[in-house]
Amino acid sequence: VIQRIFYTVNRSWSGKITCNELRKSNFLQNVALLEEEPDINQLTEYFSYEHFYVIYCKFWELDTDHDLYIDRKDLARHNDHAISSRMIERIFSGAVTRGRKAQKDGKISYADFVWFLISEEDKKTPTSIEYWFRCMDLDGDGALSMYELEYFYEEQCQKLDNMAIEPLPFEDCLCQMLDLVKPQHEGKITLHDLKQCKLTNVFFDTFFNIEKYLDHEQKDQFSMLRDGEGESQDVSDWEKYAAEEYDILVAEEAASDQWNDGYEAELNPVDHQRASVLKYQMERRPFFEMPSHLADVDLDEYDYDEDFE
């Protein structure tokens, strides 16, 4: 609850909250909301425990040395290398990351990974649209040119070729994306254009996420339009992803615990006693000892079957 209060007031863990900050925030209303809700995980305005658990497990899986920082190679392994290397480079360029030390060392922190994962799994929110727009805006002029779109699409074509899938020519892909976004000015796509688009997830996935791009290609246009018009639904793409991943993680953990418990349970008491005696005898057995009579067999005199190979 304390963490949620700090999150609501938009403060770091400095331990101090001023009266003005409380007045500006909906502090009292949020405290009352937390008290009325028996299960705080149902309050999607905040990070629930399930959300935190999913994010931390994903980060811990990529952070192989567990120094709480991940580099380019670590992030590239996310979702089985679905995100293009050119986009990975843009993420580490400092366009959407904070912390000079982390950027200097070529790494991103856990906080930056939170923004990345939420933006990756829900590309329809204003924050995620801004996130990916800044990554794709190579020259920082506030608009995506046709050159910038082609730059990211080239790697997508290479991945499709490696998968023995014939890629759509860039000119045809560009026509589809322009029809999708409907930019106000010819020859460039602005941040405002993307925020007005109902299918920004399809637009972004086309240029840097090969797995989701193929998923979109398998759907018909009418189903995608229905998904885009369903923005008013209560459950967002991020909440769907977090719920599915949490169920998978919990099931894997339960299966692992059940396997560990069942390994000892397979032995009945008599077998367990015999195993304990055998273990005791093997522990007392010296490392060097007189060989048994089986060691006296001369392999040259052993009678092999003629058909033995």
Phi, psi (deg, nearest 5) at residue 109: -90, 180
Q: Is 264 helix (H, G, I), strand (E, B) or coil?
A: helix
> pLDDT > 70: what percent of the chain?
62
* CATH class of this structure's domain 1-47: mainly alpha
Chain segment 245-257, per-residue pLDDT in tens: 999 999 988 888 7
Residue 75, token pair as written in the block: 């992030």
Name the residue with higher pLDDT: 43 or 184.
Answer: 184
Chain segment 27-41, per-residue pLDDT in tens: 444 444 445 555 545
What integer pLDDT is reported at residue 277 of this predicted model? 46
Give how far the C-alpha of residue 33 lies from the chain's centroid of Cα atoms, to the nearest Å: 30
Give how far the C-alpha of residue 12 lies from the chain's centroid of Cα atoms, to the nearest Å: 25
CATH topology of domain 66-216: Recoverin; domain 1 (1.10.238)
Chain segment 146-170, per-residue pLDDT in tens: 999 999 999 999 999 999 999 999 9
What integer pLDDT is reported at residue 21 of this predicted model? 46
pLDDT at 20 over 80: no
Distance (Å, whole) CA 45 – CA 282: 59
What integer pLDDT is reported at residue 169 of this predicted model? 96
Tell me which residue has tokens 């040119």.
145
What integer pLDDT is reported at residue 5 of this predicted model? 44
Chain segment 193-234, per-residue pLDDT in tens: 999 999 999 999 999 999 999 999 887 655 555 555 554 457
Q: Is 143 helix (H, G, I), strand (E, B) or coil?
A: strand
Provide the residue ranges of all domains of the chain, joining segments of one domain with +: 1-47, 66-216
| Dihedral sign, Cα of residue 33, residue 37, residue 42, residue 46 | positive
Average pLDDT of the chain, as a whole number: 76
> pLDDT > 90: what percent of the chain?
51
Helix ranges, the chain (H): 2-9, 19-24, 27-36, 49-62, 72-76, 85-90, 100-104, 110-121, 126-136, 146-162, 170-181, 191-196, 200-208, 210-218, 221-229, 237-265, 269-284
Residue 300 burial (CB count, 10 A): 5
What integer pLDDT is reported at residue 56 of this predicted model? 93
Distances (CA, A) of 205 to 58, 102, 200, 216, 254: 20, 27, 8, 9, 33
What integer pLDDT is reported at residue 139 of this predicted model? 94
Chain segment 113-138, per-residue pLDDT in tens: 999 999 999 999 999 999 999 999 99
To 10 degrees, what angle do helices 110-121 and 49-62 make?
110
Residue 13, token pair as written in the block: 């863990």
For residue 296, give the DSSP letter.
G
Cβ-proximal residues to 197 (8 Å cutoff; 6+ apart), any chain: 180, 181, 182, 203
Among 11-15, 140-144, 149-153, the minimum mean pLDDT is found in 11-15
pLDDT at 26 over 70: no
Distance (Å, whole) CA 143 – CA 161: 29
pLDDT at 304 over 80: no
What integer pLDDT is reported at residue 259 of this predicted model? 76
Q: Look at residues 97, 40, 46 and name the one whose alpha carbon lies nearest to residue 70.
A: 97
Q: Does 66-216 match 1-47 at the fold level? A: yes
Mean pLDDT of 169-176: 96
Among 12-16, 186-190, 196-200, 276-280, the minimum mean pLDDT is found in 12-16
